[in-house]
A and B are shown apart, each in its own frame.
Chain A
Amino acid sequence: AQSVTQLDSHVSVSEGTPVLLRCNYSSSYSPSLFWYVQHPNKGLQLLLKYTSAATLVKGINGFEAEFKKSETSFHLTKPSAHMSDAAEYFCVVSDTGGFKTIFGAGTRLFVKA
């Protein structure tokens, strides 16, 4: 069975400081892992995905995530937060075909000026 846990429901950072959003997963298969971002009252936008290629995945808007199999983690990072990064972020695990797609509960990122 698959599951995904986002360890923080809220994260608050100051503009220009690093961002770390934590995600742990469990999967019986070799999973595909994703991070999505959702701005208020908007759909979800794909930030990046891991699909068993390079363990360090670079996404849009300066975000990246590292797949660590030994820790079953896929944490999302960004070196320097921008005000426009304030949004909700979802970690997602999926098996082949995407029909068993599990979303984390989400982490709301606040960015202070």
Chain B
Amino acid sequence: SQTIHQWPATLVQPVGSPLSLECTVEGTSNPNLYWYRQAAGRGLQLLFYSVGIGQISSEVPQNLSASRPQDRQFILSSKKLLLSDSGFYLCAWSIESGSTDTQYFGPGTRLTVL
């Protein structure tokens, strides 16, 4: 069966510091991968998605970036964090199957920028 891991689970970082969040998927090959951010009291915002190694699409302009160095690894990064980067970051995967593409979510990383 497939599983998805995210780490760290929680993170407190000062403004201006770098960021690296990691997401890995097990039990599947060539998944589509996604990064979402959930700000307090708000819905989910799609940040990046990837259909393959080295293929990243960005949905919104921001100071974040994403990379996919391996098939089942997806990394979210920032060179300098802003206060507004605080939130709950969720990674998800899916396998396209016609029109039934369901996304499965990891446990999330709670990021607090001080």
Contact = CB atoms under 8 A, between A and B. Distances in A.
Interface of A: 30, 32, 34, 36, 41-46, 49, 51-52, 90, 94, 96-99, 101, 103-106
A46 B42 contact: no
Given A43-B90, A44-B90, A101 B103 contact: yes
Contacts of B110: 41
A42 B45 CA distance: 16
B98 interface: yes
A94 to B, nearest CB: 7
A34 B49 CA distance: 19
Prevailing SS type, chain B contact patch: strand
Contact of A30 (B32, B34, B99): B99
B5 to A, nearest CB: 11
Interface of B: 6, 32, 34, 36, 42-46, 49, 57, 88, 90, 92, 94, 96, 98-108, 110
Prevailing SS type, chain A contact patch: loop
B24 to A, nearest CB: 14
Contacts of B94: 98
Contacts of A94: 101, 103
20 contacts: A32-B100, A34-B102, A43-B106, A43-B107, A44-B90, A44-B92, A44-B105, A46-B102, A51-B100, A52-B99, A90-B44, A94-B103, A96-B101, A98-B94, A98-B103, A99-B32, A103-B36, A103-B45, A105-B42, A106-B42
